[in-house]
Structure formats: structure tokens, C-alpha cells
Amino acid sequence: MPRLFLCEKPNQARDIGKVLGATRRGNGCLHGDDVTVTWAVGHLLEQAPPDAYDPALKRWSLDSLPIRPAQWKNIVRKDAAKQFKVIQGLLKQCSEVVVATDADREGEVIGREILDACHYRGQVSRLWLSALDETSIRKGLASIRPGESTVSLYQAGLGRSRADWLVGMNLTRAFTVLAQQQGFDGVLSVGRVQTPVLGIVVRRDQEIANFVPKPFWEVLANLQAHGGAFQAKWVPSNESWLDEQGRCVNREAAQAVAARGQGEQARVVSVETKRKREAAPLVMDLGTLQQECSRRFGFGAQQVLDIAQSLYETHKATSYPRTDCRYLPTSMLSEVEVVVKALLHSDASLSPIIERLDVNLQSRVWNDSQITAHHGIIPTTTPCDISRMNEAEWQVYDLIRRHYLAQFLSAHEYDQTDVQLDLAGERFVTSGRQVCAEGWKALFPRGKGKGQDDSDTDDDESTGAQALPPLRQGESCPVQALQVKDRQTQPPKPFSEGSLISAMKNAARFVTDERLKARLRESAGIGTEATRSGIIETLLARGFLRKKGRTIVSTPLGQALIAALPPQISNPGMTALWEQALDQVAEGSLSLDDFMQRQNALIDKLIGLALQQPRLNLPEMPSESCPLCQAKMRKRNGEDGPFWGCTRYPECKGTKPIGKKKRKSGSRKSTSRKRASGKAP
């Protein structure tokens, strides 16, 4: 009886099948000698809706809450029924199943849930791949793992899915019914992960909207030394003049200092120069890649994930993208020369850079203790055809390979000079930087890449350091000019997709409750590398967030929803605690039953809080849909009078005038439907 490899997607199956010699096409599978390769298409199964447990639950009511399945059910997706039957038949004929889905929590669920649904009880093994090039597949096939080694990952995936169902089904019904009792026409979608993310954005937008700028003043001195001119800044010594950030808020004091210093000479009190070294940045994980691509190129989080997946699956150019690790195992040091040769073979223009590499250099990126389920994203050992990449794919690929090559260049070195001066009895300071060795920074020139600001560099450091002339202690520097600069405090910046991903990765920063903060790891996050971009897309699609240029802002509906919810539901710390517990399940230190007991107790508490809510203050939502995005619309006022509009697309203004009952044939809505069905170009 043949060995069956169960993959996540058809193209993955083709890559593995080619190495196994399984190239004969069958019905939903590939056959070889004593081996068959088949595939899912993502999740073939989905969580059953509440009415699958009890038909009475089809009606939404507060009396039926909380809904808590005693025995969890999955159902086959309608569009996947054919392939599910194929796999079901193949499982009856095989002697062993090798789960070859993506090597992460969701991949484990995709494979194992099929085996459970088909009541498969035979031998199970696990193929764990970090890349889909031929060399990596052969390496993985040579070290197939026993199935028991990843069972806990499946348990964690089930826990995530069931916790999401409990929160989503119960709280969405609770708040939607409460809102509808008050005349609200729409669905209030509440989620275990999406709602805290929405809360982070809403609270940031509120900080910006409520921000009141406060003035402060700086005194800048333009000075002349023997070796050239430079600028220094006043450091106030009187604490009563300072705000909590150390800024001078006493204008008269600043003006008095400037007046006293006019025509005087500043004396150099101290000059301290230190040689500093900056190590190369680590290789990318998905979150960091999304942040950098957002900053450099303005790419969205989902766009970056799709590109990284394409580089992994289609081009075989980079390793597995959905990783939360930025380190590499020391065992991969033996592959360095192979990877570098593959990069040169793929792109001969790299020759000047590669000639400068020291492939024997072992940077901090090689650290076995930091490796999680996957290592960082790096180029593969197989050459790729860069001519087949589109511009966006090339930009992401180039960023990934530069972070890898940086590991084999020397540290960036510079001399940091800090100077203190005395001017009319007041302290002034300045600093300068002199590059001694460019090192790895030669790989990241300013302005590299379309859409990148000239100020962008690989690290986030913005030194603002000037090139200082040679200065010595005791030297006198005549004052050329003294300026009092009027400044204002600035509001926090709105989120971009990249900075929102960063906020989701570090949710502990947004927790103010000291008891909760104490229970959270410093790096506690919301969602996973694989799901964060999808969460943002969901909030955009449901009209809770919208894009505004390169930034993401909350809509009135999103703001109203967060205002209506108990803070426990939108608290990022609660969700981060759930993720920590899921990590414990994946590690095997917490059972799935114990995890679910905690979730059941929590859902009881959250439903109780929901039922105690006062009247919800939500905007009216009519039943019409936006012709551009099909989102629910509401009455808005414009220059030409009221019209129906949605929060996602302001440009839909005027497409549905009030009082118009029927849409003419050929309208934007009917045309979009034709395009969706393939009947329009």
C-alpha cells in the first residue's frame, strides 16, 4: 500500500512530487512508485455554525448566549467537497500519511483536521520544510519527523480556532442584538484578535484628535572654531523651566540666555570621542519584513505576505516566510558558500559585493538558542530567475538577500564625539560623527528602492549628528549668531500598516494595568506572523478601518464600536495572554482541555459584561450597499446635500442618491457583478 504525502496546496505538491518521482497525474493527486502526493486547498474544513448544533440557534437572541458546543464539529467547505472526497479515498488505501502542509500551527491544523474528519488511524509522519527548492526538499525528506512530535502544535491550532469561534459567535451576536434593539441596522462584528487591534488604532486616533500642542523653546548657537563652524544647543539648568521631557517652556528664560550670549565666546569644557561599532542587522522575520517594506516602499502588510509567499512557492528564491524568528541555526553555516554562489549565479551584478564578503565571519545571527519553529527568511541554495520577478517581488527579494549578505561584512564603525561648552555661564552641547568603516552599511545606501525616502537607512537610527571640526578642551569659539527657536510638541503619528504590525507584535506596550503587564512577556503579541496582515484586511473590509494615503485610520463605525464595548474585550493585553497560553499548548506544557476551560470561564464573564452595557451610541446603517466594495452604507452629508456613502471609499459619494429606488442597467454595481461572474471585461 502506498505512502501518502498530504500537502497544503497543489504547487507545493508538484514540487515535492517531482523530488519523490510522483509525476503521473491522477484525480486530485500525483502518483509515483509506492508513493502518492495529494493536496488540500488551504482549509478544506471549517467550523460548523451554531445552528449545526441546534437549529433553534439560527435565530439570534440574548437568551441563547453563551453558545458553547459540547462536542466540536467541522463541516466540509462546499467549494472543497470534491478534493475532500479524493483525499478520503486515498486515506483508505495508504499505509502511512506524511503531513507535508506548511510547517506552522495553521499548516498542522489543515493536515490533521482532514485526518480526524476521515477517522484515519494509521501511521502519521511529518515533513518539515523551510524552503521549497529541490535541495531543501531532499534535506527534509532525509529527516522526516515522527507524527507525535507536532501533535501539540495541532492542539494549539484547535485552541486558537475554538477560542476565536467562542468570542466571535457569542460577542458578535450579543452586541448586534443589543444594537438592533436600539434601531441599529447592521452587524457588529467582534473578534478575539480583530477587536483589540481596532482598539489600538481607535485609541491612537483619539490621542491625535485630542492632542493640544504645547510650545517650547530652544536656543541654538552658531559658533566658529579654528577648524570650521558648528552649531550647539542650550541645555537649561533650572528645572522650573522644563517640562517632563526636559524641554524649556519658559520663553523669557530662553530669550534672556540668547541676549546674554550675543557677541560672547563659548569655551570648550570637554571633548570626548569614542569609537562605536554597529553590528549588522539580523535577517528578516515576516513582521520585520512587513514593517520595512511599509516604510521603504509603502507596501501593505498583506501585499508583503503575498509577495514573500510567491518568492517562497513560485520563484523558490527565499525560505519559508511565515516565521517569527530573525536568527539562523549554526548547522546552516555549512551552506553559506552554496547560498552565496546561488545569489551570484542569479544576479551577476552582485559580484563587487560578494568579492568583499568574508564567508567565515560568524555574526550574532547564528544562534541555536533563538531558533523557533523556523529560522529567519533568507535566500535559498538554488539559483532563481530574477527576470521573472515583477518590480515589487524584486524589491522584497533584494531586501531579504541584502540582510543575509550583511552577515558577512564587517561592523559599521564610527567615531562619536560629544562636546560640552560654556557660554555666558550656560551649558551648551553638540555632537558629531565621523564614519571610520562603512562595513555592512554599504549594502543599504540611502534612497535605495522606488518609493523610499532619502532619509531611509536600514537601521531606524536618525543621528542628526553634524560633521564637527577638530575641537580641543579650553578652546574659545566666537558666537556668530544666537537663535531662539519656537517649537511645538507633536501629536503621535497615525499608524501605517508596518507600524501597526509592530504594535501587534509588541502588545505589552499598550497595556496600562500593572497586574496584567506583570503577567505578559515583554514581547507579548496579538495574532501570529501568519495572521496579522489578514486581521488588518478584515478590519478594512468590515469598514472599521480605512486607508488614508500610507496610513490607517479608524472610521466612525470603528470608533463607535470600541466606545460601546467593555474595555476587557478591546484590551490588547487579554488577547496577548491568550496567545501566551496557546504557546504553552504548542509547547505541551498546557493541555487543550485546560485552555478551553479558561476560555469558557472568560466567555461567561464577557457575556455578563455585554448584558450590563448601557445604550450603545452607534451610527445609523441603512441596508443599501456601497457599489464599490459592497460594504453597508449610511446617510452622509455633502456639498450637494445628503447621499448614501460608506466609510471605506469616500469616492463613492453620489453613486446612490437618496430617493432612488432602482439602479439602472449598466450601473457600476451591475457592471461589477458581471465582472465578478466573468460576463464583463
**Alpha-carbon span 17 to 38, nearest angstrom:** 9
pLDDT confidence of residue 571: 86
pLDDT in tens, 237-296: 899 999 988 999 999 999 999 999 999 999 999 999 999 999 999 999 999 999 999 999
- Do 656 and 622 touch, CB atoms closer than 8 A? no
Q: Exactly one of 120, 312, 320, 414 is catalytic; which is it?
A: 320
- 8-state DSSP, 650: G
Enter the C-alpha cell of residue 155. 492542539
Q: Average of pLDDT values for 156-178?
A: 92
pLDDT confidence of residue 643: 44
Q: Is 36 a residue whose pLDDT tops 90?
A: yes
Q: Is 565 a residue whose pLDDT tops 90?
A: no
Lowest mean pLDDT among 283-287, 420-424, 647-651, 660-664: 660-664
Identify the burial level of 443 via C-beta atoms within 10 angstroms of its C-beta, where 0-12 means exposed, 13-18 middle and 19 or more buried.
buried
Q: Average of pLDDT values for 477-492?
A: 96
Residue with cell 506583570: 518
**Alpha-carbon span 200 to 185, nearest angstrom:** 26
Amino acid at 634: R
| Distant-in-sequence, close-in-space partners of 456: CB < 8 Å, separation ≥ 6 | 295, 296, 446, 447, 448
Residue with cell 552577515: 407
Angle at 279 between CA 274 and CA 284, to 5 degrees: 150
pLDDT confidence of residue 459: 39
Lowest mean pLDDT among 390-404, 482-496, 612-626: 612-626
**Alpha-carbon span 230 to 221, nearest angstrom:** 8
Element housing 480 (H / E): strand 476-488
pTM of structure: 0.79
pLDDT confidence of residue 187: 82
Round the average pLDDT of the chain to a whole number and report it. Answer: 86
Q: Average of pLDDT values for 307-334?
A: 93
pLDDT confidence of residue 51: 93
Q: Average of pLDDT values for 209-232?
A: 96
pLDDT in tens, 70-91: 999 999 999 899 999 999 999 9
Mean pLDDT is highest, among 158-172, 455-469, 628-642, for 158-172
| Phi, psi angles (nearest 5°) of residue 415 | -95, 125
Using pLDDT thresholds of 50, 70 and 90, give the confidence band for residue 181.
confident
Mean pLDDT is highest, among 123-137, 307-321, 450-464, for 307-321
Size of the chain in residues: 681
Using pLDDT thresholds of 50, 70 and 90, give the confidence band for residue 619.
low
Angle at 570 between CA 615 and CA 161, to 5 degrees: 115
Enter the C-alpha cell of residue 85. 472526497
Lowest mean pLDDT among 159-173, 400-414, 616-630, 653-667: 653-667
Q: Is 641 a residue whose pLDDT tops 80?
A: no
Q: Is 120 labeled as catalytic in the residue annotation?
A: no
**Alpha-carbon span 64 to 223, nearest angstrom:** 76
**Alpha-carbon span 502 to 500, nearest angstrom:** 5
